[in-house]
Amino acid sequence: MIECDLHIHSIRSTCGVHTLLEIVSIMRGKGRKGFALTDHGPELGTPRNFFSVMLRRMPSEIDGIRVFKGIESSVMNTEGELDIALFEGARYEIILAGLHPHGDFTESRGIAENTRALVNAVRKNPEIKGITHPNFTSLPVDIDILTDMAADTNTALEINNSHLRNGKANRETIPRLLDLAIRKDAPLMINSDGHMFTEMGEFEQALAFLEPYGIEQFRIVNRSMESTLEFLGLEE
């Protein structure tokens, strides 16, 4: 059903527990065709030189698994600034952005300001491909405004399986997001946000929310390798 997991954390994130090669093996074992290595940005402790090495040296395929070079950047303030490590001549294949409980968002700034931060981030950084965990209970956002932005900019909104598993997602807001995604043709990505092997490549709770609607109604960008490459503007 979902061939590519576009939100994975390795040991380089302070919260991840597996090496790159371990993740490749885990994904192969679960029948996934690819994943995005999206470790947290520098503000959450990932060394900047890790991103330089990943972007410049990491192969795009390891043991038959497509590995997308990415980052989950943090939105630092309501102006939409990101903690993204940039290097001349080295391009990310996928940039995700989300709110995390640190910096200006150690505590929620309220729905309006939280939403403004994400919208500004996408408007100022059009290379962002996805917004992570928009149903985060601790940092609520205006789903109507966010789906407008997603449809207008072709930015995918994430249904995050690990947040559902670990009690971090506001389950009451997900049906509203899904209703609006269908109505506005806003893209979605179904991701694990995996930090360890029990989570990586797993989507069962996220997909359970979509099933009553008929999954075919949604524009799920990472449903297949082909749809993933097309969405990211990449070739085989």
Asked whether residue 135 is assigned to any structural domain, the reply reads: yes
Number of domains the chain is built from: 1
pTM, entire model: 0.96
Note the pLDDT of residue 235.
Answer: 80
Query: Side chain identity at 122, as an amino acid letter?
Result: V
- What is the radius of gyration, based on Cα positions, of the chain? 16
Cross-strand pairs, 75: 82
CA distance 58 to 52: 10
112 contacts 130 by C-beta, under 8 angstroms: no
Asked whether residue 235 is assigned to any structural domain, the reply reads: no
Count the alpha carbons within 13 Å of 86 in the hemisphere toward its beta carbon. 7
Asked whether residue 143 is assigned to any structural domain, the reply reads: yes
Asked whether residue 236 is assigned to any structural domain, the reply reads: no
The bridge status of strand 65-74 relative to strand 61-62 is antiparallel
Residues of the chain with pLDDT under 70: none
Asked whether residue 231 is assigned to any structural domain, the reply reads: no
Asked whether residue 144 is assigned to any structural domain, the reply reads: yes
The CATH number that applies at residue 179 is 3.20.20.140
Range of the structural domain that residue 162 is part of: 4-226
Q: Which of 234, 209, 193 is nearest to 38 (CA)?
A: 193
CA distance 171 to 148: 20
Asked whether residue 74 is assigned to any structural domain, the reply reads: yes
